[in-house]
Amino acid sequence: MVKYTKEGNIRIIELEHVPVSEPLWGEFLFSFDEVMNEVAEDRETSVVVMAAAEGALDLTEVIPLLDYELYPSLTATVSRLPSPLITAAGGNIAGPGLELFLVGDIRVASVDSLFSLPQVSLGFLPQDGGTQRLPRLVGRTKASEMLLTGMSLKDQEALRYGLVHRLYPPETVKDEALKLARNLSIQAPFALKFAKEAITRGLELPLAEALRMEADLYFLLHTTEDRKEGITAFRERRKPRFLGK
């Protein structure tokens, strides 16, 4: 159900279809949480790719099974990842599946994807951040329409509203996500993490406080060996060799 592999400093989590069964979903949630904790604590991680099989994030039927008094949250550990996260999926991306997808710093999907949060129309409420992350991405007006009516957003509309960054043919989504990850993985790991932190935390702060935080992270980056390597490589007109130090 959860496949975890490493490619250099890239961590790859692949999600397969999980049958609609409370015991199996409980097993999946514990396994998934364990993997994500391992990734979060791995200091050699620069980029994380979470790629779901076609339709694997269509979790509408799972909504009644997700009792977080018994099981780990689907998004809690993922949202604390310090490294950039690329989420990749295709087909219907619905309910808790969309909530998980939204945690990605870069989100890619297939050209046939549909996006929805139907919990309210089923008598439930999103409990993995959907009511908070969706309006931050697509705006209050469109988020309210999606959340209150359960309507689906089509692929091109999702791209236009900023719910996804890129759309690809279904058979290439995972490969394109890995290509993006490889492009990111050659950057300085600390610079990537600090940039993510500045964006994520800064949006929750008043502008003056966010600017002070950005300055603090900038000066903290000065203490890393990778920054020195970047300057040296620029002066020597060569590509930098970042080591995450």
Looking up residue 8, the CATH number of its domain turns out to be 3.90.226.10
DSSP state of 215: H
Q: Tell me how crowded residue 184 is: count the other CB atoms within 10 A of its CB.
A: 20
Both 143 and 170 in one domain: the answer is: yes
Judge whether 229 lies within some domain: yes
Both 40 and 90 in one domain: the answer is: yes
Judge whether 243 lies within some domain: no
Both 9 and 76 in one domain: the answer is: yes
Both 52 and 170 in one domain: the answer is: yes
pLDDT for 233 equals 57
Judge whether 136 lies within some domain: yes
Both 35 and 152 in one domain: the answer is: yes
Domain boundary among the residues 165, 185, 205 is at 185
Instruction: Please say if the pLDDT value at position 244 is more than 80.
Output: no
Q: pLDDT over 70 for what percent of the chain? A: 91
Both 18 and 86 in one domain: the answer is: yes
What b/e readout covers 154-183, taking b as 16+ CB neighbours within 10 angstroms? ebeebbebebbeebbeeeebbebbbebbee
Domain that holds residue 197: 189-235
Instruction: Please say if the pLDDT value at position 234 is more than 60.
Output: no
Both 156 and 208 in one domain: the answer is: no
Both 33 and 138 in one domain: the answer is: yes
Both 119 and 206 in one domain: the answer is: no
Give me the torsion for CA of 135, 22, 51, 53, rounded to 10°. Answer: -110
Judge whether 245 lies within some domain: no
pLDDT for 145 equals 95
Both 173 and 197 in one domain: the answer is: no
pLDDT for 18 equals 84
Contact 88, 51 (CB under 8 A): yes
Looking up residue 217, the CATH number of its domain turns out to be 1.10.12.10
Both 180 and 59 in one domain: the answer is: yes
Per-residue pLDDT tens digits for 124-162: 889 899 999 999 999 999 999 999 999 999 999 999 999
Mean pLDDT value across the chain: 89
Residue 65: pLDDT band by 50, 70, 90 thresholds? confident
Residue 119: pLDDT band by 50, 70, 90 thresholds? very high
What's the number of domains the chain is made of?
Answer: 2
